[in-house]
Structure 1
Amino acid sequence: MTVSTAAGALSACGGSGGAASQPGGKDAAEGIAGSGFGQGVASGDPKPDSIILWTRADGGSGGQNIKVTLQLSDRADFSTLLVNVALSAQPAWDYTLRHKVTGLNSATTYYYRFLTGAAVSMTGRTKTAPAAGTPLSQLKFAFISCQDWSVNHWGAFDELATQDLDFIVHLGDYIYETVGAGFQSGGNESRHPALSLPNGTKRADGAIYATTLADYRSLYKAYRGDARLQKLHASFPMIAIWDDHEFSDDCWQDRQEYSATDDSTPQTARRRSASQAWFENMPADVQLDLNNPSFQNIQIYRSFVFGDLATLVMTDERLYRSDHIIPETQTGSEIGSRYFVPQDILSQVEAAKMTSTGGNLLSVSVLGETQRAWWQGQMKSATTTWKLWGNEVSLLRMGFDGTVAVAALLTQGLVPQLAGFGLTLSQPQIAQLQGALYLDLAAANTSGATPVVSYTNTQPLLSSLSGGAISAGTFNASIKPGLDAGLPPSLFFDKFILNADQWDGYNAERKALMAYLKAQSIGNVVALTGDIHAFFAGPVMDDYDAASPSPVMVDLVTAGVSSNSLFSYFKNVVDTVPAFSKAKPLIYTTASGQVVNTFTNTLQSFNSWLKYVDSDAQGYALVTLTPAKLSCVFHKVGAVSNGVAPSPATLSVKTVEVAAGAAAVNVL
């Protein structure tokens, strides 16, 4: 990171060579001329008096530095230069530059560009934040997440670049560390050719994942080569945080999770390489200490203030998090550990881990002790109307009761069969039937792989409803075999957490955070979330397991820009995993040869706090913030067709609102 002050006064700075007399680091005036700036320009981390500017110089051979000049102006034609400084793009940092300009005016638009040899970069436009405490009537920004190069399309960036925004919040998965994975095949735009890695490690399934610094750098170079992403960066400052794919899917600290035993071995060198590549390629006001041998040699959690209207707190939910509460070594796979986890077992193991450490959250935390205390301090000290939380993984409970679900499925199949016996049930009678089936399933013997059900409630009910026409003998001969055939394996008869990699898997810490907000009377807290490849909106409860949970804050979750949807993941599970095949109607049905998504309704039926859900979506979110309300418009984009993104990219929109003073979501 190098630093200069607008209007010509230079401040002290440092680069890879330590303290220097000019912003480019030691010997900044020496070096060769580059050939251009093929990855564009970017700005980020807007403060009232400063901004971070970024580029990467082309033409280096790995030896000499490249001479670059940075110019910044408050005029689009650069007729007046506030900064005109010599910099040095160094091989040690892959010829990337991160330059901080201080001494700027608040809430002001600036223009910047880089020059090397005869080449001039594209012009970037950026904007500083309003001064703290300044009365603001409005703030407009977007939040995005999960932009897989190899899935669907990036048409969203074209649309975002045309908006009138103050900044962009990026919640992680800026790159995907794998190439050639199963979920990255098909349905991709032709302008995104297949990626390859200079090194990489091959997984058992044939996918190759980034392992070295050269691997991660190559991914950022490829992603930044897209003109639409370049245009987005050149249009607005970005406030970015990472999630998992910048290092490794579902990672924690320096551990990867590709197999059940993967995380038994630290991957410190890989983690450090991933962090360095992120640092090199993000316009973020953070520091990386290569002299620190730890994988925690960088701190990216930080906060921003926008006038009197909003405080934005960005957290790091990977580098300090504990192992998943139920480790994969215990279950043999991600099923039962990270996904589709029995809720009672999860709670019991979490409680046991806390007991073993004296009742604290040391071994069951997403944020870690230091960052959690910092988060609490930021929330308590914020004097703005709104407190926004850049939060990587959803805070909303996404649970599922298998026994209730099976009772509903069996009822759905049984009603038309009963009509064949001349028994047409009314809606109240259908509800009675489902209740009887639930009682029978709850009492089933599930000690074996297949449940044994004695229909002691269902059979008498049917006999009474049919006036005795469906006797015990008729039931056993004609109805029971069909019911038994529809039963899934015994493991299905439980309450489950669908995704324990998100906050549902760290329930104790989530409750502690919500308890803190309640105890301190901190209101108007809204999380901006990504990761899960679907749109969600709803209140975050103080305790989802309480008889009457109380809302504390709101979570707004954007779908991935270009990722396989949450629905597609669960569809693949019920299509390919025999144990879950009978749950298919809970995920989808087919009508006239077309797939009909039932998963969205399933999620909402078991989680009343999910006020809005679209489980099969890609897109982005636009926010307009005023003192009275937060308005969020979810833009769902259409699918790629014949390798081309649709134009316009947006297929549909849905607006949700959060009124100041209430932890509630209003779906318009």
Structure 2
Amino acid sequence: MDRRQFLKWSGFLTASVAAGGLTACGGGGAGSLPGGAGSALGINGSGFGQGVASGDPKPDSIVLWTRADGGDGLQNVKVTLQLSDRADFSALLVNVALSAQPDWDYTIRHKVTGLNSAATYYYRFLTGQAVSMTGRTKTAPAAGAPLSQLKFAFISCQDWSVNHWGAFDELANQDLDFIVHLGDYIYETVGAGFQSGGNETRHPALSLPNGTQRADGARYATTLADYRSLYKSYRNDARLQKLHASFPMIAIWDDHEFSDDCWQDRQEYTATDDSSPQTTRRRSASQAWFENMPADVQLDLNNPSFQNIQIYRSFTFGDLATLVMTDERLYRSDHIIPETQAGSEIGSRYFVQKNTLAQVEASKMASTGGNLLNVSILGETQRAWWQNQMKSASTTWKLWGNEVSLLRMGFDGTIAVASLLTQGLAPQLAGLGLTLTQPQIAQLQGALYLDLAAANTSGSTPVVSYTNTQPLLSTLSGGAISAGMFNTAIKPGLDASLPPSMFFDKFILNADQWDGYNAERKALMTYLKAQGIANVVALTGDIHAFFAGPVMDDYDAASPSPVMVDLVTAGVSSNSLFSYFKNVVDTVPAFSKAKPLIYTTVSGQVVNTFTSTLQNFNSWLKYVDSDAQGYALVTLTPAKLSCAFHKVGTLSGGSAPNPATASVKTVEVAVGSPSVNVL
């Protein structure tokens, strides 16, 4: 091992080579940032209140992080980093003098190279009389090295102001190689309605130094100081600190590190928001993420673009796994149907008419010669990189750190209404002396579907003739339910139960995820099939629910074929997908009659029907829990991938339950088969 140590500056990521001596690093060059070669290291700090962290494990390197307290906003703070392969630091491999700068909020990201592969190391930071907590980290196995097992967790969506963070205590006590964080590490809003009244007492209400107020009273982070304050608050939690100190983390962002459902440098709080770029806000969000994540990436503040940072990158773990992490916000096109066209997020991002979405996507592609330029999540350059990473990977498994779900989540409104009408009509018929068998109930639903499909939906309220339903009931009742009785006793109730005409269509539930960028999803699946690339599994977050299922080559084909698998973890603490849809049917009159598709009430208790609705309309969804918070634990071997979805319990008296996990559901993916087995 090279016994020399050196320090270099590049986008404020410093680096040194591990050695056996105790000599502090020096060096740098004429291009060093302030605090590099030739400048004073600064004053002593008072401690490290946000803890320590490590990330981006490679076979020979790791990135280490901390933030020094006690700066005066003008001078640098002197910090010493020590790294050892011994928990008591009796022999130091790194003992380097660093300088935490006010321009970077006194954060330090230091890359240590020259390390052994698959090795455990310990690290700490010192300033003045203060010593940080000890961090433990681990390098990746050497590329190509035989590997019998890999264990890791993947997490996302940890809203400070919702439910609890008991999951972090459990994760820190696991025996893991690393943590994958899929984004929404912070939430940019404070004081929103969904962030009120449902969080643990140890998490006080957050405030922002500046912020911008929305019409609903919430404020959202706008300045660099705002975003920095959120990371500081989140990192003040001892459980999150413990998690970072226990394992290296491989992190990407999703939307809330900048702005909800964002694309490029555009925000989406109102229907017209994204008409104007928010370049300064986007750059501030990116800088705060860079400052606070132990990621082996660079930020170029001299580049005036909002795309002045690249976070997509890949990792290799022996001969077992390649992990490809993508950025699905910074390069993505506008939502296929813009909010300005739909008038709101309904019809643009959520509950979007499937045929209209496909037509607009095709039109956008035609306008650019048939390419994906304006209908892409990844962007041209990143998509080509992703393809190359998948093709060149020589490992058994190809894992994809993917922010938004690849699984189709569709919904046929006509079928759904026919089902709802049948559920309501069957008890009424029983009261009239006609108790239907299950086959007869199926016949009734089929007749109602035909009538609804033929309905006149030109107006806001559908007009249905029931030319199939009425004769069927007459037959089933032996003539007891005549046309006259149907028109007086049954038809008025059916008509009153009909939702607005717009409901009689096929819908995509969430066009902010890959369902809204179907052409690019199909292109990626076509590439995997054409290249014969097998054993691809996406690790996904964002949607605040657990999902598992195969990703099809073309969900609209008569017989779709599975290509890869998508495993989706619920948010650590964020409001569930179910709660969002429950709020819609409870508060939006146009959707109120769809309430039974989301939930029912039995003896005063809410019963989730949304999970079964999703599976009824999407047969590839092999496992769904739409009302959950939690995390996912993966055990990977050459023969299979085993994923344990840990669903955590709800608050108990303002505190996290102990244990935090309320239930566990395990799914498996066997090598060579893009399918999911639910245990």
Q: Which band: TM-score by shorter chain? A: over 0.9
Pair 96,421 (structure 1): closer, same or farther in 2 beyond 3 Å: same
Per the TM alignment, residue 19 of structure 1 is displaced from its structure 2 partner at its CA by 3.0
User: Match for 2:404: what amino acid?
Assistant: V
User: The residue matched to 1:18 in structure 2 has which SS?
Assistant: coil
Of residues 89-98 and 26-35 in structure 1, the stretch that sits farther from structure 2 once superposed is 26-35
User: The residue matched to 1:540 in structure 2 has which SS?
Assistant: strand
Match for residue 302 of structure 2?
291
User: Match for 2:220: what amino acid?
Assistant: Y
User: The residue matched to 1:340 in structure 2 has which SS?
Assistant: strand
- 2:581 pairs with 570, 589, 596, which one? 570
User: The residue matched to 1:569 in structure 2 has which SS?
Assistant: helix
- 2:553 pairs with 527, 539, 542, which one? 542
Once residues 502 and 399 of structure 2 are traced to their aligned partners in structure 1, the CA distance between those partners, rounded to angstroms, is: 39
Is the aligned partner of 1:416 residue 2:456?
no
- 1:2 pairs with 5, 10, 14, which one? 14
Unaligned runs of 5+ in 1: none
User: Match for 1:492: what amino acid?
Assistant: F
User: The residue matched to 2:57 in structure 1 has which SS?
Assistant: coil
Once residues 637 and 56 of structure 1 are traced to their aligned partners in structure 2, the CA distance between those partners, rounded to angstroms, is: 30
Per the TM alignment, residue 13 of structure 1 is displaced from its structure 2 partner at its CA by 7.7
Cα contact 1:5–1:11 (8 A) shared by 2: no
1:530-572 deviations in whole A, cap 9, x for unaligned? 0000000000000000000000000000000000000000000
Q: CA RMSD in A?
A: 1.2
1:370-405 deviations in whole A, cap 9, x for unaligned? 000000000000000000000000000000000000
Match for residue 196 of structure 2?
185
Scaled by the length of structure 1, what TM-score is found?
0.98
Match for residue 400 of structure 2?
389
1:308-351 deviations in whole A, cap 9, x for unaligned? 00000000000000000000000110000000000000000000
Cα contact 1:28–1:67 (8 A) shared by 2: no
Is the aligned partner of 1:556 residue 2:531?
no
Once residues 40 and 562 of structure 2 are traced to their aligned partners in structure 1, the CA distance between those partners, rounded to angstroms, is: 58
1:578-619 deviations in whole A, cap 9, x for unaligned? 000000000000111000000000000000000000000000
Is the aligned partner of 1:330 residue 2:307?
no
Once residues 24 and 311 of structure 1 are traced to their aligned partners in structure 2, the CA distance between those partners, rounded to angstroms, is: 37
- 2:643 pairs with 624, 632, 635, which one? 632
Match for residue 214 of structure 2?
203
User: Match for 1:57: what amino acid?
Assistant: A
1:500-531 deviations in whole A, cap 9, x for unaligned? 00000000000000000000000000000000
Pair 522,59 (structure 1): closer, same or farther in 2 beyond 3 Å: same
Once residues 75 and 548 of structure 2 are traced to their aligned partners in structure 1, the CA distance between those partners, rounded to angstroms, is: 51
- 1:98 pairs with 109, 124, 136, which one? 109
Once residues 265 and 216 of structure 1 are traced to their aligned partners in structure 2, the CA distance between those partners, rounded to angstroms, is: 20
Cα contact 2:35–2:76 (8 A) shared by 1: no
Once residues 112 and 513 of structure 2 are traced to their aligned partners in structure 1, the CA distance between those partners, rounded to angstroms, is: 36
Cα contact 2:448–2:466 (8 A) shared by 1: yes
Cα contact 1:3–1:12 (8 A) shared by 2: no
Once residues 319 and 214 of structure 1 are traced to their aligned partners in structure 2, the CA distance between those partners, rounded to angstroms, is: 21
Is the aligned partner of 1:253 residue 2:253?
no
Match for residue 453 of structure 1?
464
Q: How many pairs align?
A: 665
Pair 528,630 (structure 1): closer, same or farther in 2 beyond 3 Å: same
Per the TM alignment, residue 12 of structure 1 is displaced from its structure 2 partner at its CA by 9.1
- 1:39 pairs with 42, 50, 75, which one? 50
Once residues 104 and 349 of structure 2 are traced to their aligned partners in structure 1, the CA distance between those partners, rounded to angstroms, is: 36
Unaligned runs of 5+ in 2: 1-12
Match for residue 237 of structure 1?
248
1:60-80 deviations in whole A, cap 9, x for unaligned? 111000000000000000000
Once residues 27 and 154 of structure 1 are traced to their aligned partners in structure 2, the CA distance between those partners, rounded to angstroms, is: 44
- 2:279 pairs with 254, 268, 271, which one? 268
User: Match for 2:398: what amino acid?
Assistant: K
Match for residue 164 of structure 1?
175
Cα contact 1:3–1:13 (8 A) shared by 2: no
Cα contact 1:342–1:496 (8 A) shared by 2: yes
User: Match for 1:254: what amino acid?
Assistant: D
Pair 13,663 (structure 1): closer, same or farther in 2 beyond 3 Å: farther
Once residues 27 and 478 of structure 1 are traced to their aligned partners in structure 2, the CA distance between those partners, rounded to angstroms, is: 91
Once residues 485 and 211 of structure 2 are traced to their aligned partners in structure 1, the CA distance between those partners, rounded to angstroms, is: 63
Once residues 510 and 455 of structure 1 are traced to their aligned partners in structure 2, the CA distance between those partners, rounded to angstroms, is: 40
Match for residue 19 of structure 1?
32
After TM superposition, list the pairs within 5 Å mapping 1:275-314 onto structure 2: 275-314=286-325
Once residues 32 and 543 of structure 1 are traced to their aligned partners in structure 2, the CA distance between those partners, rounded to angstroms, is: 61
Match for residue 230 of structure 2?
219
Of residues 417-426 and 42-51 in structure 1, the stretch that sits farther from structure 2 once superposed is 417-426
Once residues 390 and 408 of structure 1 are traced to their aligned partners in structure 2, the CA distance between those partners, rounded to angstroms, is: 38
Cα contact 2:211–2:226 (8 A) shared by 1: yes
Match for residue 154 of structure 1?
165
Is the aligned partner of 1:59 residue 2:70?
yes
1:190-223 deviations in whole A, cap 9, x for unaligned? 0000000000000011000000000000000000
Cα contact 1:3–1:10 (8 A) shared by 2: no
1:228-259 deviations in whole A, cap 9, x for unaligned? 00000000000000000000000000000000
Once residues 114 and 25 of structure 1 are traced to their aligned partners in structure 2, the CA distance between those partners, rounded to angstroms, is: 18
User: The residue matched to 1:19 in structure 2 has which SS?
Assistant: coil
User: The residue matched to 2:32 in structure 1 has which SS?
Assistant: strand
User: The residue matched to 1:46 in structure 2 has which SS?
Assistant: strand
User: The residue matched to 1:429 in structure 2 has which SS?
Assistant: helix
Once residues 263 and 297 of structure 2 are traced to their aligned partners in structure 1, the CA distance between those partners, rounded to angstroms, is: 21
Per the TM alignment, residue 10 of structure 1 is displaced from its structure 2 partner at its CA by 8.7
Is the aligned partner of 1:598 residue 2:613?
no
Per the TM alignment, residue 25 of structure 1 is displaced from its structure 2 partner at its CA by 2.0
User: Match for 2:31: what amino acid?
Assistant: G
Per the TM alignment, residue 26 of structure 1 is displaced from its structure 2 partner at its CA by 3.4
Is the aligned partner of 1:515 residue 2:526?
yes
Cα contact 2:41–2:98 (8 A) shared by 1: no
Is the aligned partner of 1:654 residue 2:665?
yes
Cα contact 1:3–1:11 (8 A) shared by 2: no
Per the TM alignment, residue 30 of structure 1 is displaced from its structure 2 partner at its CA by 2.8
Per the TM alignment, residue 24 of structure 1 is displaced from its structure 2 partner at its CA by 6.2
User: The residue matched to 2:283 in structure 1 has which SS?
Assistant: helix
User: Match for 2:540: what amino acid?
Assistant: T
Of residues 5-14 and 537-546 in structure 1, the stretch that sits farther from structure 2 once superposed is 5-14
Once residues 28 and 68 of structure 1 are traced to their aligned partners in structure 2, the CA distance between those partners, rounded to angstroms, is: 14
1:134-164 deviations in whole A, cap 9, x for unaligned? 0000000000000000000000000000000
User: Match for 2:131: what amino acid?
Assistant: V
- 2:79 pairs with 68, 73, 82, which one? 68
Once residues 286 and 256 of structure 2 are traced to their aligned partners in structure 1, the CA distance between those partners, rounded to angstroms, is: 11
1:396-450 deviations in whole A, cap 9, x for unaligned? 0000000000000000000011111211111111000000000000000001000
Cα contact 1:49–1:128 (8 A) shared by 2: yes
Match for residue 109 of structure 1?
120
Cα contact 2:418–2:445 (8 A) shared by 1: yes
User: Match for 2:477: what amino acid?
Assistant: S
1:455-487 deviations in whole A, cap 9, x for unaligned? 000000000111111111010000000000000
User: Match for 1:18: what amino acid?
Assistant: G
Match for residue 123 of structure 1?
134
- 1:355 pairs with 356, 361, 366, which one? 366
Once residues 372 and 237 of structure 1 are traced to their aligned partners in structure 2, the CA distance between those partners, rounded to angstroms, is: 27
Cα contact 1:489–1:579 (8 A) shared by 2: yes
Is the aligned partner of 1:320 residue 2:325?
no
Scaled by the length of structure 2, what TM-score is found?
0.97
- 1:174 pairs with 162, 170, 185, which one? 185
- 1:132 pairs with 129, 132, 143, which one? 143
User: The residue matched to 1:149 in structure 2 has which SS?
Assistant: coil
User: Match for 1:617: what amino acid?
Assistant: A
